[in-house]
Structure 1
Amino acid sequence: MQVSHSRDIANFFVVGINYKKTDAAIRGLFAINPSQYEQLLAHGKSVQLNDFFILSTCNRTEIYGFANQAQDFMELLCRETNGNLEQFEQIAYVKKGEEAIRHLYQVGTGLDSQILGDYEVVGQIRNAAKFSKQQQCLGGFLERLVNSVVQVSKLIKNETSLSAGTVSVAFAAVRLLGNRVPDIKNKNIVLLGVGKIGRNTCKNMMDYLGTSNITLVNRTAAAAVEFACAHGLQHAPIESLEPVLHAADVILVATNAPQPTVLARYFENTSPKFVIDLSIPFNVEDKVRTLPHVQVVNVDELSKVQDETLQMRQHEIPKAIAIIDEHMQEFLYWFRMRKHAVVLKAVKEKLTEIHSKEIQQQKNNAGFQLEDIEEVSSRIIQKMINLMAGKVRRDTEKSDQYIALINDIFEAGVNQD
């Protein structure tokens, strides 16, 4: 893996897959959990890929950062996933430079989300970048860019209706239950996993369906107990998962386990079940779909739910793009000025070095007088001219460009026509 790369925008990449070309099963092969993320960051540092972060959600897995070539990131990403490099290369997209920067703005503002206007993704970006920074893998460019994306996301949320209304995977699940499951208030519901998506789904069920007959199961029992007590719900230990699922009518799965936790054998000789799998990778075993008395819906099927809210959001896209354009240009201006500042600082240091040497030479002269400063200054000026003239002579192909630039910088006013 080549590691020599500069922090120039031309070396800034995003490499990833998302819902547009891959289904949830494929995305699950390349999903990154926190433990894998930590391992990838550690390995990245070992091969000097030390300025990047990884975004892994139910809709996408992407890596943003500086590299010599996109292939470096593909190889890194596939080290810890269940998918292989050859498969990833066939389905992945690669963007670089300003195109990659714009992509992050579009992802962070919900323009590139499976459900248009998804506002949760910006928090996922912020957390992913924060974790990378904690592992010393986030540089100034990326930190500034992520901060700009977060700011733009807030502006778009406040100044447009792109995220107005209630549309999310969690809410789509609740709408689907309301449409597909008769008498939902009296059904026995089990929620497996009380992370953010699980909690949001649970709250939506209570708020919009008026149901409270919900049993929570979580690998960490304390989280289920705490949430159940706060909302007047039931809870059960993970060890009793099979009998709990036996008794359920509706099952929602929102875990992030690397392997399926809801198995086909749990549904042998049971009543009909309606199962919604909100997890990536899937946490409901494939064989469950073959059971005639169990209906399974996954996140991709949920995302197809369209309504008037999404149509209204479509009209807000031009406003959101205009806000992105404005702030992206501000970010790019900051980047260019930062590069200029580095050059100007180096020039200043070079001139200071010349000045110090000349002064020191004169001080070593026992007959040095204050009036000799004019002569010193003249020599410093001549040395600066010699440096510029030497560069022009050595690089004859660009000599005209150099002279024009010097003429412009010092406002010499020489007509070169």
Structure 2
Amino acid sequence: MTASCHVYDLYTCIFAPGSLLTIMQVNQPKNISNFHIVGINYKKTDAAIRSSFAINQAQYTAILDEGKQTQLDDLFILSTCNRTEVYGFADTPGQFIELIDKHTCGNIELFQQLAYVKSGEEAVRHLYHVGTGLDSQILGDYEIVGQIKNAAKFAKSQGCVGTFTERLVNSVLQVSKLIKNETALSAGTVSVAFAAVRLLQSKVCDIANKKIVLLGVGKIGRNTCKNMMQYLGTKNITLINRTISVAEEFANCNGLQCAPIENLGQTLHDADIVLVATNAPHPTITRSMLEHAGPKLIVDLSIPFNVATDVKELSHIEVVNVDELSKVQDETLQMRQHEVPKALEIIGEHMDEFLYWNKMRKHAVVLKAVKDKLTEIHTREILQQKNGAEYKLEDMEAVSSRIIQKMINLMAGTVRKETEKSDLYISMINDIFDTGVNQE
């Protein structure tokens, strides 16, 4: 789509009767150079460091509340097992680092050493890459898009997402869907849950006769369990969950066993393989539970880790965490690599559209103010000439409204045809009509 088409569509939307412009609030858009992202991810940090900067719901609420008190009222936070990132508007990125320092338990000096900071268009591009799985630990991981959607939705519910950020997130969600449908970037079965199954295939012989315990029946736990049933052909799986009814329901639907959390110690003792997919803030499995148990393989899918670090010191226990799982590669990832150029092309096209929309917002603000000014003039003229004139007031008002609309359309058409001079023209119109809109 050409730039002129964008301008035409924009002005058609703005100036049509009953259009957005007639109800939009005249607020000057924020400067894109003040849009920042500050974060850490799996590329330079291990899971232990990331967990110290993970942000739960209560921390998220506290950060947003404090942000609003310090005029940081347009931001959202993406916190997953692979990253913690703050997106939003601020005078400097350091303001976001201060929020992370105050509301997480990690070492802020370490965070500053390992963090990446991006601003303006670079920050916008980063969100597109994250939302489409290009920046995921497992290339093409599509689960991230739901996490972005939920993170932004929560921030919006707290009054912390402005027009720019909401439009950007919606664009990223749209692009993510397009890439999923039009490329093979997310094709095949590759995820942390699937990587755990591939690990078991490579490490465990005669798995059908092994006793498997799955601790945690949330989304990752259920996906891992389904993959084990499908790809390993085993149902020798015992489920344990803090809410026993959740485990019972899933077990009954899939022909599995379950055990109460009170029996965790004995169930672990009897197991050959343990998969941990809980989200507890502290380790659920401790060294004392396993010191006198037999040999076993434990796969920790949790962030923060839910297997105590000293469990690895036991010679008869092998522990594998999510960082090690990410090294499990297969031909699916190679296929996905070939789809990256297609994904980048789609991102580029839609990012250009978003940036153009943002550029034109300031024009829309000025033209709205001009329209208001013209409306004020025509109303004053009608009132001055109404006494003694022989005409129907409603006819005069209809004619005047059409005159105003034609004048606006004339100015918009000139700007549309002269795209390279559009900023100059809009600035001149702004000055001529003394709208009071600050374009800086």
Question: TM-score band (shorter)?
Answer: 0.7 to 0.9
AA at the equivalent of 1:283: N
Instruction: Answer yes or no: is 1:236 the counterpart of 2:269.
Output: no
Instruction: Answer yes or no: is 1:321 the counterpart of 2:344.
Output: yes
Structure 1 residue 286 displacement after superposition: 0.5
Deviations 1:96-146 (A, max 9, x none): 111111101101111111111111111111111122222222222222211
Change in Cα spacing, 1:130 to 1:406, as seen in structure 2 (3 Å) is: closer
Deviations 1:350-400 (A, max 9, x none): 34445555666x569x99999xx9xxx9xxxxxxxxxxxxxxxxxxxxxxx
Matches within 5 A, 1:11-160: 11-160=34-183
Instruction: Answer yes or no: is 1:303 the counterpart of 2:326.
Output: yes
Structure 1 residue 37 displacement after superposition: 1.9
Structure 1 residue 6 displacement after superposition: 6.7
Instruction: Answer yes or no: is 1:213 the counterpart of 2:221.
Output: no
Q: 2:308 aligns with which of 261, 285, 296?
A: 285
Deviations 1:271-313 (A, max 9, x none): 0010011111111101001100000001111101122111111
Deviations 1:140-186 (A, max 9, x none): 22222111111111111111111111111110000100110111111
Change in Cα spacing, 1:404 to 1:218, as seen in structure 2 (3 Å) is: closer
Q: Following the alignment from structure 2 to structure 1, what is the Cα–Cα distance between the partners of residues 370 and 428?
A: 14
Q: Following the alignment from structure 2 to structure 1, what is the Cα–Cα distance between the partners of residues 66 and 333?
A: 41
Q: Following the alignment from structure 1 to structure 2, what is the Cα–Cα distance between the partners of residues 291 and 233?
A: 30
Structure 1 residue 339 displacement after superposition: 2.4
Aligned partner of residue 78 in structure 1, secondary structure: helix
Change in Cα spacing, 1:235 to 1:355, as seen in structure 2 (3 Å) is: same
Matches within 5 A, 1:396-407: 406=428
What 5-or-longer segments of structure 1 have no aligned partner?
A: 378-400, 411-417
Q: 2:199 aligns with which of 160, 163, 176?
A: 176
**Contact 1:6/1:66, CA 8 A, preserved across alignment:** no
Q: Following the alignment from structure 1 to structure 2, what is the Cα–Cα distance between the partners of residues 293 and 64?
A: 44
**Contact 1:108/1:125, CA 8 A, preserved across alignment:** yes
Change in Cα spacing, 1:97 to 1:176, as seen in structure 2 (3 Å) is: same
AA at the equivalent of 2:194: F
Q: Following the alignment from structure 1 to structure 2, what is the Cα–Cα distance between the partners of residues 229 and 45?
A: 47
Deviations 1:20-73 (A, max 9, x none): 111111111111122222222222223232221111111111111111211111
Instruction: Answer yes or no: is 1:245 the counterpart of 2:245.
Output: no
Aligned partner of residue 156 in structure 2, secondary structure: helix
**Contact 1:277/1:299, CA 8 A, preserved across alignment:** yes
Structure 1 residue 331 displacement after superposition: 1.3
Q: Following the alignment from structure 2 to structure 1, what is the Cα–Cα distance between the partners of residues 197 and 184?
A: 22
TM-score (norm 2): 0.80
Deviations 1:180-208 (A, max 9, x none): 01111111111111111111111100100
Query: Alignment length, in residue pairs?
Result: 375
Aligned partner of residue 17 in structure 1, secondary structure: strand
Q: Following the alignment from structure 1 to structure 2, what is the Cα–Cα distance between the partners of residues 181 and 233?
A: 20
Structure 1 segments, 4+ long, off by >6 Å, are 366-370, 401-405
Q: 2:281 aligns with which of 258, 261, 273?
A: 258
AA at the equivalent of 2:164: F
Q: Following the alignment from structure 1 to structure 2, what is the Cα–Cα distance between the partners of residues 19 and 322?
A: 25
AA at the equivalent of 1:96: S
Q: Following the alignment from structure 1 to structure 2, what is the Cα–Cα distance between the partners of residues 210 and 296?
A: 23
Q: Following the alignment from structure 1 to structure 2, what is the Cα–Cα distance between the partners of residues 323 and 203?
A: 33
Q: Following the alignment from structure 1 to structure 2, what is the Cα–Cα distance between the partners of residues 135 and 222?
A: 32
TM-score (norm 1): 0.84
Q: What is aligned with 1:384?
A: none
Q: Which structure is richer in relative contact order (CA contacts within 8 A, separation 6 or more)?
A: 2
Q: Following the alignment from structure 1 to structure 2, what is the Cα–Cα distance between the partners of residues 80 and 255?
A: 23
Q: Following the alignment from structure 1 to structure 2, what is the Cα–Cα distance between the partners of residues 307 and 178?
A: 13
The range that moved more, 97-106 or 134-143, is 134-143
Aligned partner of residue 103 in structure 2, secondary structure: coil
Structure 1 residue 404 displacement after superposition: 11
What 5-or-longer segments of structure 2 have no aligned partner?
A: 1-27, 401-422, 433-440
Aligned partner of residue 28 in structure 1, secondary structure: helix
**Contact 2:215/2:276, CA 8 A, preserved across alignment:** yes
Change in Cα spacing, 1:280 to 1:327, as seen in structure 2 (3 Å) is: same
Q: Following the alignment from structure 1 to structure 2, what is the Cα–Cα distance between the partners of residues 367 and 153?
A: 64
Change in Cα spacing, 1:223 to 1:45, as seen in structure 2 (3 Å) is: farther
Q: What is aligned with 1:387?
A: none
Task: Give the RMSD, CA atoms, in angstroms.
Answer: 2.6
Q: What is aligned with 1:333?
A: 356
Q: What is aligned with 2:24?
A: none
Deviations 1:242-292 (A, max 9, x none): 111111111111111111111011002110010011111111101001100
Q: Following the alignment from structure 2 to structure 1, what is the Cα–Cα distance between the partners of residues 316 and 157?
A: 48
Instruction: Answer yes or no: is 1:198 the counterpart of 2:226.
Output: no
Q: Following the alignment from structure 1 to structure 2, what is the Cα–Cα distance between the partners of residues 55 and 101?
A: 14
